[in-house]
Amino acid sequence: MSALATFGGGCFWCVEAIYQDLKGVHSVVSGYTGGKSENPSYQDVCSGTSGHAEVVQIGFDPEVISFGALLEIFWRTHDPTTLNQQGADRGTQYRSVIYYHDGNQKEIAVKSLAETDQSDLWPDPIVTEISPMGEFYEAENYHQNYYKQNESQPYCRMVIDPKMKKFREVFGEKIG
């Protein structure tokens, strides 16, 4: 059995790295969605004029890992309280967003957002969008599997490495 989940939580390199090694996840593809132009390039998205978000599309087996479990990881591996930014990455392309693929995912996402917002996980209100999935455009090849292919690159060492360390400490039992 296979399902899709699509999340934006800042730079897609960071989000991709988090989900790649989870039990039940069989694919993680970096790409763009939520904008107004067809076939946007990375330069189009970075310009802020295309309206697209950097996202990852996760192929997963819901009998092994649920959509709710993917959301639990989503809430804890980026800051969903900052509008259009994660760390030094700023712009609408870095927005926190859950793109749902069906009514069930929408219902789970809305409930998960409300529960997380009411918890003490984040001191500020969550600003994450929950939107219907539109057209997904796969990012250029050099963006795919970025962290695993560029672990010594400065951005990976300074931004993704600490995120991965924290992730492993909290979610180690879910990693495949």
Q: Which residues are catalytic?
A: 11
In this predicted model, what pLDDT tens digit does every residue of 119-156 receive, in sequence order? 999 999 999 999 999 999 999 999 999 999 999 999 99
Which residue blocks in the chain are alpha helix, DSSP H? 12-19, 42-46, 67-76, 103-118, 146-149, 154-155, 161-171
Confidence grade of residue 83 (pLDDT, cut at 50, 70, 90): very high
In this predicted model, what pLDDT tens digit does every residue of 66-78 receive, in sequence order? 999 999 999 999 9
| CATH 3.20.20.70 fits domain 3-174 | no
8 A C-beta contact, residue 74 and residue 66: no
- What letter represents residue 169's amino acid? E
The SS3 assignment for 112 reads helix
8 A C-beta contact, residue 13 and residue 55: no
In this predicted model, what pLDDT tens digit does every residue of 4-26 receive, in sequence order? 999 999 999 999 999 998 999 99
8 A C-beta contact, residue 175 and residue 77: no
**First CA to last CA distance, the chain:** 18
